[in-house]
Amino acid sequence: MIVQRVVLNSRPGKNGNPVAENFRMEEIYLTDNINEGQVQVRTLYLSVDPYMRCRMNEDTGTDYITPWQLSQVVDGGGIGIIEESKHTNLTKGDFVTSFYWPWQTKVILDGNNLEKVDPQLVNGHLSYFLGAIGMPGLTSLIGIQEKGHITAGSNKTMVVSGAAGACGSVAGQIGHLLGCSRVVGICGTHEKCVLLTSELGFDAAINYKKENVAEQLRESCPAGVDVYFDNVGGNISDTVISQMNENSHIILCGQISQYNKDVPYPPPLSPAIEAIQKERNITRERFLVLNYKDKFEPGILQLSQWFKEGKLKIKETVINGLENMGAAFQSMMTGGNIGKQIVCISEEISL
């Protein structure tokens, strides 16, 4: 059968901004034969995420992420439905997910590399498994649990940068759920600020493109900052760190402002900010969610429970069509999304 796929057309260069034209859609022939242990799946939803920017370079700069290859199919988080199975534990009609799902309409995969998901955990919203009840949600939850040192009733103030994104929009809510008394979000549009405070329970929101972040932070966080969930790095983070309290904690989730630059990860702080960090004994340890796989299952169940109880509100931006993967990626890298950026490939979930 003929299927569509997306390949890497060109690299933006280590210091370049990614554009939709870095990706190319093409048609290929997919065999009808599947071998023992394999399944044929139809792709339902694909994820685009900031970490993928590193995969566009010849060298990702990390040992746990491999680069995408030119003219080869691109892959990432995905979810689909099994149409044919020769795997003992997977049957036709099962919903499955993978962190390395090819950007392709239909694909033959090794069943051992897939994880079966239960639609009841997300009330049938399968795309949530790529967002708040998937890797971004786990990154937020486990990051705060492991690096935030929040205890119920401890009266702590938490600041979240990139607060309207996939991780940030969840992290702020989790901060409250785990016991923070005040949560302040930083984002880039008025619309996002309104969403954070009116729907997602943030106590205040700062538009870094229009407002003086240092002034607004002092106003929003009169007792200083105890926990900083950092999605962006750069100048915003320098401003937040300079207002952090003694023995406070930075949860280093991402550094999207630095991803189009040829710098190490995590990027080093400027000497002045590093001096503040040391002087005030602020922890800033690299956090990698893949090191906590034993916490994934209980984490997903906790996120699902909060969602079902109405305590965790989930936001996503959905673009339709495999042909729009590149546009979705470019938009996500420039803040065009609210919540998780998802691309819907096929909505038909019946066989």
46-64 per-position pLDDT tens digit: 999 988 998 999 988 887 8
Q: What are phi and psi of 147, to 5 degrees?
A: -115, -10
Q: What is the DSSP string of 306-322?
A: HHHTTSS---EEEEE-G
What gap in Å lies between CA 62 and CA 65, rounded to an integer?
Answer: 6
Identify whether the C-beta of residue 36 lies closer than 8 Å to the C-beta of residue 101. no
Identify whether the C-beta of residue 203 lies closer than 8 Å to the C-beta of residue 222. no
Give pLDDT, residue 255: 65
Q: For the chain, list residues with pLDDT below 50.
A: 257
Identify whether the C-beta of residue 109 lies closer than 8 Å to the C-beta of residue 41. yes
Give pLDDT, residue 192: 97
Q: Nearest Cα to 145, choosing from 339, 308, 311, 296?
A: 296
Q: Is residue 235 helix, strand or coil? A: helix
What gap in Å lies between CA 39 and CA 153, rounded to an integer?
Answer: 49
| Burial class (CB within 10 angstroms; exposed 0-12, middle 13-18, buried 19+) of 279 | exposed
Query: At which residue do the structure tokens 């040992």 appear?
Result: 63
What's this model's pTM, rounded to 2 decimal places?
Answer: 0.94
Give pLDDT, residue 319: 97
Identify whether the C-beta of residue 249 lies closer than 8 Å to the C-beta of residue 283. yes
What's the number of CA atoms in the CB half-sphere (13 Å) around residue 85?
Answer: 15
What gap in Å lies between CA 68 and CA 79, rounded to an integer?
Answer: 20
Give pLDDT, residue 64: 81
Residue 288 DSSP code:
-
Give pLDDT, residue 268: 86
In terms of DSSP H, where are the helices of 15-134? 52-55
What gap in Å lies between CA 213 and CA 172, rounded to an integer?
Answer: 18
Residue 243 DSSP code:
T
Q: How many CB atoms lie within 10 A of CB 218?
A: 12
